[in-house]
Amino acid sequence: MVFRTLTQRVSRTHEAWLTLLLLLVVVVPLAGLLWFVNRAAQNERFAVRQKLLEVYRAHLALAQERLDDRWKQLGAELDAQANQQAAPALFAKWVLAGTADAVVCFDPAGHPVYPQPARVMLTQSLAPGWTEAQSLEATDLPAAAKAYARLAGTTTNLNAMATAWQAQVRCLIQARQNDEAIAALAGGLRDNRFPQATDGQGRFIAPNAMLLLIELLQASQPDQAQVWRQALQTQLLDYDSGLLASQRLLLMRELHRLFPQAAAFPTLAAEALAAQYLERDATNRHVPVLQMSPLPGVWQFASASGRIVLLHRTETLPARLRAACYSPGLPAEVRLDFIAPGHEKEGALLSLPAGPQLPGWRLALSLNDQKLFETIANQQIGAYLWGSGLVGAAVVMLSLLALGMVRRQLALTQLRNDLVANVTHELKTPLASMRLLVETLLASPQLEEQTTREYLALIARENIRLSRLIGNFLTFSRIERNKYNFDFHPVPVAAIVNEAVAAMHERLNAPGCHFEMRLAPELPALIADADALVTTLVNLLDNACKYTGENKRIGLEVRLEQGQVRFAVSDNGIGLTPRDQQQIFKRFYRANPLRSPTVGGCGLGLSIVQFIVTAHHGTIQVASEPGHGSIFTVSLPAGETAAGTPKHP
Ligand code: ADP
């Protein structure tokens, strides 16, 4: 017993050390893993930033290259077209295409050709009789009008004719003869000759007359006014008509003032800007680079020869620059910005000079999402964390598995130690008593028959005890190695009971033991392993004898209850506490061995009984009271075949 306790304590210490070791095996790699993940996360943040910066730098360089190429190409294209197309048409084309906010065209000598500068006053051709008609204006306007009308009808010079017509209309308006003025204007405008007539400054007379007609018609005949408005608008947008820029600008403004909704001119702002530019000193245009123009907030870019100058307002320029270096491959998370000379861009990720065509300008890349690097790095780190989490979980699981295996191994070792300790101890007692009895017999000079018989009976009892003990050890060993095979057959209950009682005959019929057996009539046969059931009953009857003092009253009752055959083994022995009743079926468990020191046993019998009963799909119950005895009841299903061999508890 002492030996067993000692081995148990030693084994528990081993187990504690082993658990600690396994914990270390888990904790140390896990801590290392966490450290690595942490380092990897830091490195990942840095690496992601570097990697993305590299990619963005390449994109930026590409954009810069495109921009430079585009502007060089633009300079050459402008010159080529200046040689092929008339300046007003070029102006309209580039402005309407959105290439610039305004365009100024020069001739090879450097004189502006569109918009044209104001012309020197030409000598106006006047019809003969002009002075007489003019002198009438001071006294009789209607008469003057008539005189001018006559002049217009008689003269052959086109410009003189148109001037007389203009004067006629002027007199009619001054004389408040609007209807006559309208009729005169409409009549003249329908005359095919007038559209080509110009005044002393080279301005076409017809478009001005048309504007006058529209103004006169607006109050009385708005529909007609709209018809003429449409005609004038078409003329003003015709850049092949030879109309002077200053006249076009003036008429566009006037028409737009009269009809703010209907008369919208897409080139009006450009005309105004170009005119403003020419009013300033526009001589510094021979460098084909983007530079500030003399107008505030306006940039100029001249073609290689300086014949075409594109004007850009500061607010519209970035969109054009962006379009020039448009790169479909530019990642969506970044934005291309243009930084004007002397400006800074806050939060720009990278910047590069915009190229020789745009001196002082810089191209910059900014992040649309300032947390982009962090987000991408976090995605990567998330993957690391998942990976390491899985590895960690695997390590923990494997360690738990290993721990379980080691525990099982330890339990097995413990079992083996217990078995060895018990076998040696339990074998020693019967062997020693047998040896003593034999030696006593041998030592006596003369053998008395009575004494010899008594001694031999004692030796036989010890022998039986020894055999049962060894039988239990062997059974237990087979169970532990899963080598216990049952042989199920239909067996009559009486046969099992009789064999068990016969095996216990001597003890049950010993003096001081009263054994009573009650078998219910007509018990059904059991499908069982007969030997195993005999072992069960023998163990229970043996315990009943062992754990009962003088005046034993042992009973064996077999009855049929609820379709089950019940074997109840009762005694009036020392009984069991409720706690012991729960433990006694565990192997090697002995309930307070000090209370029955004389009886042998190693706590295997009941565990074997339970194993056999379970294999027969039955149950075992104990009802006991300390000092009053116990009843062990085995219930087996009547006539049922056992399905297999259960694991030993
Ligand atoms: P053992 O070889 O010690 O008898 P068992 O497994 O048969 O082993 O019994 C386990 C323990 O249960 C015994 O040591 C004993 O303390 C208790 N026990 C078994 N049967 C009885 C009984 N009929 N009366 C009192 N105690 C019993």
Residue 158 confidence (pLDDT): 83
| 19 part of a folded domain | no
Q: How far is the CA of 468 from the centre of ligand 1 (A)?
A: 14
Grade residue 378 by pLDDT with cuts at 50, 70 and 90.
Answer: confident
By most ligand atoms within 8 Å of CB, the mutation choice from 543, 553, 556, 594 for ligand 1 is: 543
Closest CA to 354 of 343, 346, 370: 343
Report the number of distinct structural domains present in the chain: 2
Closest CA to 244 of 157, 122, 336: 122
Q: Is the pLDDT of residue 6 over 70?
A: no
Q: Is the pLDDT of residue 120 over 70?
A: no
Q: How far is the CA of 542 from the centre of ligand 1 (A)?
A: 9
Q: How far is the CA of 411 from the centre of ligand 1 (A)?
A: 23
Structure tokens at 370: 């300032």
* Separation of alpha carbons 244 and 203, rounded Å: 6
Q: How far is the CA of 15 from the centre of ligand 1 (A)?
A: 29
* Separation of alpha carbons 8 and 22, rounded Å: 21
Atom of ligand 1 nearest to the CA of 539: 7
Q: How far is the CA of 609 from the centre of ligand 1 (A)?
A: 11
- Residue-wise pLDDT for 612-627, tens only, equals 999 999 999 999 999 9
CA-based radius of gyration for the chain: 62
From the CB of 571, is ligand 1 less than 6 Å away?
A: yes
From the CB of 568, is ligand 1 less than 6 Å away?
A: no
Instruction: Spell out where 123-274 has E strands.
Output: none
Structure tokens at 549: 């003092």
Classify 276 in phi/psi space as left (phi over 0), alpha (psi -120 to 50) or beta.
alpha
Kindly report the CATH number assigned to the domain that includes residue 538: 3.30.565.10
Grade residue 644 by pLDDT with cuts at 50, 70 and 90.
Answer: very low
- As a whole number, mean pLDDT of residues 163-179 equals 91
Q: How far is the CA of 616 from the centre of ligand 1 (A)?
A: 22
Atom of ligand 1 nearest to the CA of 472: 2
| 151 part of a folded domain | yes
Residue 541 confidence (pLDDT): 95
* Separation of alpha carbons 269 and 105, rounded Å: 16
* Separation of alpha carbons 150 and 208, rounded Å: 22
Q: Is the pLDDT of residue 380 over 70?
A: yes
Residue 28 confidence (pLDDT): 82
Of 243, 265, 299, the residue at which a domain comes to its end is: 243
- Residue-wise pLDDT for 186-210, tens only, equals 988 888 878 888 887 788 889 999 9
Atom of ligand 1 nearest to the CA of 589: 10
Cβ atoms of 314 and 300 within 8 Å: the answer is no
| 508 part of a folded domain | yes
Q: Is the pLDDT of residue 1 over 60?
A: no
* Separation of alpha carbons 471 and 340, rounded Å: 105
| 597 part of a folded domain | yes
Q: What is the pTM of this model?
A: 0.53
From the CB of 605, is ligand 1 less than 6 Å away?
A: yes
From the CB of 600, is ligand 1 less than 6 Å away?
A: no
| 444 part of a folded domain | no
Q: Is the pLDDT of residue 9 over 60?
A: no
From the CB of 606, is ligand 1 less than 6 Å away?
A: yes
From the CB of 309, is ligand 1 less than 6 Å away?
A: no
Q: How far is the CA of 434 from the centre of ligand 1 (A)?
A: 24
Grade residue 122 by pLDDT with cuts at 50, 70 and 90.
Answer: low
* Separation of alpha carbons 247 and 610, rounded Å: 121
Q: How far is the CA of 543 from the centre of ligand 1 (A)?
A: 6
Furthest CA-CA distance within the chain: 196
Q: How far is the CA of 528 from the centre of ligand 1 (A)?
A: 25
Q: Is the pLDDT of residue 642 over 50?
A: no
Q: How much is the mean pLDDT over the chain?
A: 85
Cα angle at 584 between 578 and 530, to 5 degrees? 125
By most ligand atoms within 8 Å of CB, the mutation choice from 539, 584, 608, 633 for ligand 1 is: 584
| 104 part of a folded domain | no
Nearest residue (by CA) to ligand 1, atom 7, is 605
- Residue-wise pLDDT for 508-552, tens only, equals 998 999 999 999 998 899 999 998 999 999 999 999 999 999 899
* Separation of alpha carbons 596 and 549, rounded Å: 9
Q: How far is the CA of 487 from the centre of ligand 1 (A)?
A: 27
Residue 338 confidence (pLDDT): 86
Q: Classify 322 as helix, strand or coil.
A: helix
By most ligand atoms within 8 Å of CB, the mutation choice from 577, 590, 604, 622 for ligand 1 is: 590
- Residue-wise pLDDT for 60-70, tens only, equals 888 888 888 88
Range in 53-57, 240-244, 281-285, 431-435 with the lowest mean pLDDT = 281-285
Higher pLDDT, 596 or 301: 301
- Number of other CB atoms surrounding residue 605 within 10 Å: 25
From the CB of 569, is ligand 1 less than 6 Å away?
A: no
Q: Is the pLDDT of residue 649 over 60?
A: no
H/E run at residue 334 = strand 334-339
Residue 420 confidence (pLDDT): 76
Question: In whole angstroms, how far apart are CA 518 and each of 322, 494, 559, 638?
Answer: 110, 11, 8, 18
Cβ atoms of 508 and 466 within 8 Å: the answer is no
359-368, 425-434, 442-451: which is most confident: 442-451
Q: How far is the CA of 410 from the centre of ligand 1 (A)?
A: 26
Residue 599 confidence (pLDDT): 67
- As a whole number, mean pLDDT of residues 93-115 equals 91
Q: How far is the CA of 591 from the centre of ligand 1 (A)?
A: 7
Residue 598 confidence (pLDDT): 62
Of 243, 265, 297, the residue at which a domain comes to its end is: 243
| 179 part of a folded domain | yes
Closest CA to 133 of 176, 167, 179: 167
Q: Classify 561 as helix, strand or coil.
A: strand
Q: Is the peptide bond before 115 cis (omega within 30 degrees of 0)?
A: yes
| 360 part of a folded domain | no
Please state the separation of Cα 513 from the chain's center in Å: 82
* Separation of alpha carbons 543 and 148, rounded Å: 155
Cβ atoms of 577 and 603 within 8 Å: the answer is no
Q: Is the pLDDT of residue 442 over 80?
A: yes
Nearest residue (by CA) to ligand 1, atom 18, is 543
- Number of other CB atoms surrounding residue 421 within 10 Å: 20
Range in 206-220, 464-478, 514-528, 549-563 with the lowest mean pLDDT = 464-478
Residue 635 confidence (pLDDT): 96
Closest CA to 57 of 376, 341, 357, 334: 334
Question: In whole angstroms, how far apart are CA 469 and each of 321, 437, 535, 538, 605?
Answer: 104, 20, 11, 12, 9
- As a whole number, mean pLDDT of residues 299-304 equals 89
- As a whole number, mean pLDDT of residues 443-452 equals 89
Q: How far is the CA of 114 from the centre of ligand 1 (A)?
A: 125
Q: In what order do the strands lie in the sheet with 619-625?
A: 513-519, 552-561, 564-570, 629-637, 619-625
Residue count of the chain, please give it. 649
Cβ atoms of 351 and 364 within 8 Å: the answer is yes
99-103, 263-267, 480-484: which is most confident: 99-103
Range in 231-240, 376-385, 563-572 with the lowest mean pLDDT = 376-385
Q: By residue range, what is the domain housing residue 480? A: 475-637
Tokens 């209907």 — which residue?
Answer: 262
Residue 2 confidence (pLDDT): 41
- As a whole number, mean pLDDT of residues 95-123 equals 84
Residue 12 confidence (pLDDT): 65
From the CB of 133, is ligand 1 less than 6 Å away?
A: no
From the CB of 576, is ligand 1 less than 6 Å away?
A: yes
Of 221, 243, 265, the residue at which a domain comes to its end is: 243
Nearest residue (by CA) to ligand 1, atom 25, is 575
User: Whole-angstrom distance between the N-terminal and C-terminal Cα of the chain?
Assistant: 22
Q: Is the pLDDT of residue 631 over 50?
A: yes
From the CB of 465, is ligand 1 less than 6 Å away?
A: no
